[in-house]
Chain A
Amino acid sequence: QKEVEQNSGPLSVPEGAIASLNCTYSDRGSQSFFWYRQYSGKSPELIMFIYSNGDKEDGRFTAQLNKASQYVSLLIRDSQPSDSATYLCALRRSNDYKLSFGAGTTVTVRA
């Protein structure tokens, strides 16, 4: 079982719609969870991090964490063409500094 699994893409949404990205993980010792955005040919950039169960909102982005279900998600509201990118879910274990990534979900926002 992979440590981090993301819903398979690609995901295509119309401009202004909500894009929903999901991620599950296998290690219950995971403590910190991150969403990164990566444009083609570039390095990943951090969008959101979440440590506690529940929702965390930052502008048009909302991260949701459910540790009991080992599930973390990212919602992008009012999607814009500039949101077209690959989104990577990552988690960091509590017992060491290992930082593992999922395979990514490619999002395309249609104008």
Chain B
Amino acid sequence: DGGITQSPKYLFRKEGQNVTLSCEQNLNHDAMYWYRQDPGQGLRLIYYSQIVNDFQKGDIAEGYSVSREKKESFPLTVTSAQKNPTAFYLCASCGQGYEAFFGQGTRLTVV
């Protein structure tokens, strides 16, 4: 089945820890995105990537890092510099048709 897979579904982070969220797609899409969603809010763009080995900061990149070493993969690291990381994180990918499709999300909680 073609699609976007995010893992894990739930993630708990201790204060001062870095954690990495996985996003993999087998849709052969060029562009990939990471968004953060807080309760009752819309989607805020963290990072996005048009092609392999290239990515751009979104609107709230501070405290996050990404890599794009393979077309299929776009992992997001939430660093200890992100002081309020508890949120729902969504990964999306976009092909030539321009429509973006989303993974099922990762719910991150600081404990």
- Residues on A lying within 8 angstroms of B by beta carbon are 6, 32, 34, 42-46, 49, 51, 88, 90, 92, 96-104
Contact = CB atoms under 8 A, between A and B. Distances in A.
Given A43-B103, A88-B42, A98 B98 contact: no
A43 B90 contact: yes
13 contacts: A32-B98, A43-B103, A44-B43, A44-B102, A46-B99, A46-B101, A49-B98, A88-B42, A98-B45, A99-B33, A99-B92, A99-B100, A103-B41
Contacts of B100: 34, 46, 90, 92, 99
**9 A-B pairs closest in CB distance:** A103-B42, A101-B43, A43-B102, A97-B31, A104-B42, A97-B50, A32-B98, A101-B42, A43-B105
Contacts of A98: 45, 48, 56, 58
B32 to A, nearest CB: 9
A94 to B, nearest CB: 10
- Main secondary structure on B side of the interface with A: strand
A49 B45 contact: no
A49 to B, nearest CB: 5
Nearest to B43: A101
- Main secondary structure on A side of the interface with B: strand
Contacts of B98: 32, 49, 51, 92
Interface in B70-110: 90, 92, 94, 98-105
B48 A101 contact: no
